[in-house]
Amino acid sequence: MARTRPNFIVIMTDQHRADYLGCAGHPFLRTPAIDALAATGTRFTRFYVSSPVCMPNRGTFMTGRLPSVNGARGNGLPLPLQANTFVDLMRDKGYRTALVGKSHLQTMTANAALWKHEIPDGMEAPGAGFEEALKPWAPPEKYDQENVSRWDADPTAELDLPFYGYERVNLCIDHGDKVRGDYARWVARKGGDLTKLSGPKNAMPSDVSVPQAWRTSVPEEMYPTRYIQEHACRAIEDWAGDEAHPFFMSVTFPDPHHPFTPPGKYWDMYKPEQVNLPRSFYARVSNADGAVQRAQRSDEEKSFNRDNTMVFMPVAEREAKEAIALSCGMISMIDDAVAAIMAKLRATGIDRDTIVVFTADHGDFMSDHGLLLKGPLHLQSIVKVPFVWSDPQKRGAPTCDAVSGTIDLPSTILARAGLAGFNGMQGRSLLPEIADGADHGTGAHIVEEESQRASFGLPAPVRLRTLVTQDWRLTLYESDQLAELYDLKNDPEELNNLWDDPGSLAMRAELLTRMVRENIRLSDLSPVPMRRA
């Protein structure tokens, strides 16, 4: 007998752009399990993040609120523990809740911040507890729960549960074969020793030249993707027979985020020779000065750190092709894990009761304009991500071109569960779009970014805002008159910056007005007024 309310499994990958799926038309990547979800559900083609880096967009996923509103403005700023999440709401209404894999709602390292509030010379600093606009959230150690050094130092380290609404957590910290947390203890129980298996010093020989790639000695059966698969399937088994309580589970893979370390057969599943690089890899952007031109000038100055977590160039053709082939191997391993999860749903007899969602936290340049990884440059390759909604009880349109995004996902899940969201959620339910494939929103989406790192000659923090519509992308940076305007319909590779183009001034003005209106619409409505003054 079907439950009154459905179960939900949200599968989220890390740094996975929208076109890297078989169902999205990738020329050689094979993803049959994810393609099967798309074939039985709705695949969105214009689904955008609220920020193209991990922590802020994951904060948006949990709250349905923009990073500038939910508090996790950028990497290094945790989601406040007093923030309500949609997982909190579901748990309060009887849902069992689980997180398997990467969380990254708090910082994963103990590294010092790259910028701080400066006290002018001769001025006395504020006293303890008055340094910020709001009084302290919680003791600092409460925001150190995902710090990998804490887990390495303390074999008994645990999260305080419930963790942002999750009552059950199997935690992965970091990426590739560098993952630690609960995962490392699982490896040890299997007889493995990550100090002798993981990282470049333990890697097997290879001829790969791209930075941050090595042939890991961690076997397939001990790799983080397999850990997540096993524990997701275990949670399904544990909760399948609970007719009184439906469940919500986030299954969050740290791959295909760099380092590029697919294990075993996935290492050479795809060959660099299969890769055809995009036209933009060889091109130089024309017309107005923009972030791509700044990046290309930085390339000429050789100013990028190739071992960084953020964007780097120059990238040789062979390096770019290797990065793409290895990323595809990591995605194929995830697809095999998705197949196992779907098989477990069928084996336990709850597949008809369970909605499965597939998405990612942000994309990767993957050689566009000669760039790898991510950074404060809002190309489609990092702001647009996969989104598949597969509901076995309510088949919708096969595809949807509506301009939508991560901010809408919490409202959509709650609406399908028959639950109202809390005041201050800024996204909308996409159930109407899923039903008929049309766009029932404003046709526009706001992307925010705040980076601690100085980039493209801009001082930290680098702040920018983007408006995306069906046919256009407009981006403004806080400083230095840096701006971009791209006609996505006629220039999908974003090669021609029209910001200063005389023939595009009317469109520029229209989009600027639209951006202002969208930001007004998205201003915070929480809390509700107490009285009329």
Tell me which of 212 and 309 has the higher pLDDT: 212
Token code pair at residue 309: 């977590």
pLDDT in tens, 192-247: 999 999 999 999 999 999 999 999 999 999 999 999 999 999 999 999 999 899 99
The answer to whether position 471 is within a domain reads no
Cα distance between residue 418 and residue 10, in whole Å = 17
Angle at 362 between CA 8 and CA 27, to 5 degrees: 95
The answer to whether position 488 is within a domain reads no
Residue range 107-126: mean pLDDT, rounded: 79
Q: Is the pLDDT of residue 115 over 80?
A: no
pLDDT value, residue 461: 86
What residues contact residue 478 under an 8 Å CB cut-off, 6+ apart?
Answer: 462, 463, 464
Full DSSP string of 325-392: HHHHHHHHHHHHHHHHHHHHHHHTT-GGGEEEEEEES----TTGGG-BS--S---HHHHB--EEEE-T
Residue 245 and residue 94 in contact, taking contact as beta carbons nearer than 8 Å: yes
Confidence class for position 299, pLDDT limits 50, 70, 90: low
pLDDT value, residue 279: 94
pLDDT value, residue 3: 64
Q: Could you say which DSSP state residue 124 is in? A: P
Residue range 332-337: mean pLDDT, rounded: 98
3-state secondary structure 254-302: EEECCCECCCHHHCCCCCHHHCCCCHHHCCCCEECCCHHHHHHHHHHHC
pLDDT in tens, 477-496: 997 789 999 999 999 999 99
> Which of 50-54, 452-456, 460-464 is least confident?
452-456
pLDDT value, residue 124: 83
Helix (H) or strand (E) holding 252: strand 247-256
CA nearest 96: which of 229, 251, 250, 249?
A: 249
Residue range 116-120: mean pLDDT, rounded: 79
Q: Which domain holds residue 276?
A: 7-112+138-297+309-442
Q: Is the pLDDT of residue 515 over 50?
A: yes
The answer to whether position 2 is within a domain reads no
Cα distance between residue 308 and residue 161, in whole Å = 33
Token code pair at residue 298: 């930085």
Residue range 345-367: mean pLDDT, rounded: 97
Compute the mean pLDDT over every residue in the chain, rounded to the nearest whole number: 93
Long-range contacts of 186-195 (CB under 8 A, 24+ apart): 186/227, 187/218, 187/222, 187/227, 190/221, 190/222, 192/218, 192/219, 192/222, 194/218
pLDDT value, residue 1: 41
pLDDT value, residue 137: 67
**CATH code for the domain in which residue 248 is found:** 3.40.720.10
The answer to whether position 127 is within a domain reads no
Sign for the CA dihedral angle at 305, 198, 234, 345 comes to positive
Residue range 320-325: mean pLDDT, rounded: 98
Q: Is the pLDDT of residue 287 over 80?
A: no
Indicate the length of the chain as a whole number: 533
Residue 166 and residue 98 in contact, taking contact as beta carbons nearer than 8 Å: yes
Confidence class for position 301, pLDDT limits 50, 70, 90: low
User: What is the chain's alpha carbon radius of gyration, rounded to the nearest angstrom?
Assistant: 22
Confidence class for position 121, pLDDT limits 50, 70, 90: confident
Residue range 78-101: mean pLDDT, rounded: 95
Token code pair at residue 10: 């949200």
Q: Is the pLDDT of residue 7 over 80?
A: yes
The answer to whether position 332 is within a domain reads yes
The answer to whether position 485 is within a domain reads no
Cα distance between residue 384 and residue 361, in whole Å = 10
pLDDT value, residue 4: 80
Q: Is 51 helix (H, G, I), strand (E, B) or coil?
A: coil
Residue range 10-15: mean pLDDT, rounded: 98
Per cent of the chain over pLDDT 90 is 80
Please state the domain count of the chain.
1
The answer to whether position 479 is within a domain reads no
Per cent of the chain over pLDDT 70 is 96
pLDDT value, residue 107: 82
The answer to whether position 85 is within a domain reads yes
Residue range 296-310: mean pLDDT, rounded: 70
pLDDT value, residue 300: 59
